[in-house]
Homo-oligomer: A and B are copies of this chain.
Amino acid sequence: MDDKLNNLKALVNEVHDINSAMALLEWDQQTNMPRGGSDDRANQLGTLSRISHVKFTSDETGELLEDLEDYGNSLEPASNDACLLKALKRLYAKKTKVPAKMVAEFADATARAQHVWEDAKEESDFKKFRPHLEKIVELRQAYAELFKPYDHIYDPLLDDYETGLKTADVQQIFSELRPQQEELIRAIAEKQKIDNSFLFNNGYDEKKQWDFGVDIISRFGYDWKHGRQDKAIHPFTTSFGLGDVRITTRIFKDNLMSGLFSSMHEAGHAIYEQGISKDLRRTPLAEGASLAMHESQSRLWENLVGRSKDFWICFYPKLKELFPSQLGNVGLDAFYRGINKVEPSLIRVESDEATYNLHIMLRLELEISLLEGKIEVKDLPEIWKNEMDSLLGVSSSNDCDGVLQDVHWSCGVFGYFPTYALGNLVSAQLWEKINDDIPGLSGQIRNADFSGLLGWLRENIHQHGAKFEPQELIKRVVGSKIDPKPYMRYLNGKFGEIYGL
């Protein structure tokens, strides 16, 4: 059995290497690549994705998995090898359903769509992007249909990012969450508006912002020997093996929050991957348990830590020193209220904690309707505007602030958005548990000491990588499945205090 396990691992290692090379091709595409490289890059991604797929879905993999089935069942269920075999079996069953031709076609179509989306966004011209999105939706429908019978056409897509979760589960969670968030937003709307204009329009030096962000995420625990930060239009985290986990951010002179919280957010993702046990390297277990788990980490550092009063008690004096002309007259309390101002707005990634999930709910509805064929791509800009208006009371005539704002669809990523909201929920579930386990946490953060928090996350979450399915991992850690209540307790507590509700 040892020989067969080693053969299987060697095969899986190779596939992982190819996938890592693809991740670099994609990172480079978003950070460095000149526009003229677009066609070549599409070819390269198409070829590598096909090779990776063919290799993993080969008969050889299937036979090894079959031969190792009994052996896997005989192992301690939480052991690395047992978890690897279980994950591979699941992945193999899923991926063998997909023809290699479709994999390459999808990689090619999304690589080509990338720069078109960038241009279209820049020019706020949805028409330019439309044929690409139509092609991508069509390919995603064809993909989902490979998994018939299903409860819902959206299920196979969701499952790619959140193993085991069903569309109905998400709809159930969202239907519990939505009225409570709407009620909170309504209550806040009746209160006096917070003035946080000092965060904008004041020419915040980009280099100083960059350096301040770098200092913070270094203190969080981001390891620069195994990573780096670059600029990208849409911030993201990626890894090429556990030894090289990179983040990107974007910095605006007239928006102090954007770059800073982007860096914290992406560092949260990266710290997760940097903490995965090296024993899992070069396997599918060498990643986060799911996107919601991933997002729980990024949002925890960005919001639970980075938007807390405790954090700024320590860091606001430093920030003030950097920007005396902009912040000299702004007290800690005004700053804290400023960065937590609740106001319905157009852009998801810039939106506050109270309204954020509503953006996600809109995207989920649209994705489901597109996949079901109930709406057409050509009508998206109009529908987007109307829905934003009814959901949040805001709308824009620019596609760049509307339907074109996010990179996801140009990457062919459908089923991903809900995990952002779920990640918020999980971050609050973890936060309650962490505060139970580390009673002095608040004081530690006030002293810029994140070692206790990082240690807890390393121990309970990070090291396990994708050994456990997400629902199982959450249950192991907090004792229940994904639950909106802790998040609502957190929101109501925080904003109740800020707005005096």
A positions within 8 Å CB-CB of B: 13-14, 17-18, 20-22, 24-25, 28, 32-41, 43-44, 46-48, 51, 223-228, 230, 240-244, 281-282
Contact = CB atoms under 8 A, between A and B. Distances in A.
5 contacts: A17-B44, A24-B24, A34-B224, A43-B282, A44-B241
A140 to B, nearest CB: 24
Contacts of A39: 241, 243
A205 B86 CA distance: 58
A34 B228 contact: yes
Number of identical protomers: 2
Contacts of A43: 13, 17, 241, 282
Contacts of A224: 34
Contact of A37 (B35, B36, B38, B244): B244
A37 B226 contact: yes
Nearest to A31: B32
Contacts of A240: 37, 40-41, 44
A14 B54 CA distance: 14
B243 A40 contact: yes
A36 B244 contact: yes
A226 B39 CA distance: 11
Contacts of A51: 14, 18, 51
A228 B31 CA distance: 12
Contact of A18 (B32, B34, B35, B47): B47
B20 A44 contact: yes
Given A17-B48, A34-B226, 13 more contacts: A17-B43, A17-B47, A20-B44, A21-B21, A21-B24, A21-B25, A21-B48, A37-B240, A40-B242, A40-B281, A41-B244, A44-B240, A44-B241
Contacts of A241: 37, 39-41, 43-44
A135 B14 CA distance: 23
A180 B132 CA distance: 63
Contacts of A28: 24, 28
Contacts of A47: 13-14, 17-18
A15 to B, nearest CB: 9
Contacts of A13: 43, 47
Contacts of A18: 44, 47-48, 51
B34 A244 contact: yes
A173 to B, nearest CB: 37
A144 to B, nearest CB: 28
A21 B37 contact: no
A323 to B, nearest CB: 24
A4 B47 CA distance: 20
Contacts of A223: 36
A376 to B, nearest CB: 33
A129 to B, nearest CB: 21
A446 B37 CA distance: 34
A39 to B, nearest CB: 6
Contacts of A48: 17-18, 21
Contacts of A281: 40
A13 B47 CA distance: 9
Nearest to A244: B37
Contacts of A37: 226, 240-241, 243-244
Contact of A32 (B17, B36, B228, B243): B228
Nearest to A242: B40
Nearest to A51: B51
A24 to B, nearest CB: 6
A225 B21 contact: no
Q: Which 8 A/B pairs are nearest by Cβ-Cβ distance?
A: A40-B241, A37-B244, A36-B226, A17-B47, A36-B243, A17-B44, A36-B225, A40-B243
A228 B241 CA distance: 26
A14 B43 CA distance: 8
Contacts of A34: 224-228, 243-244
Given A25-B21, A48-B18, A225 B35 contact: yes
Contacts of A230: 32
A50 to B, nearest CB: 8
A242 B40 CA distance: 8
A35 B228 CA distance: 10
Most chain B Cβ neighbours within 10 Å, of A25, A46, A224: A25
Contacts of A36: 223, 225-227, 243-244
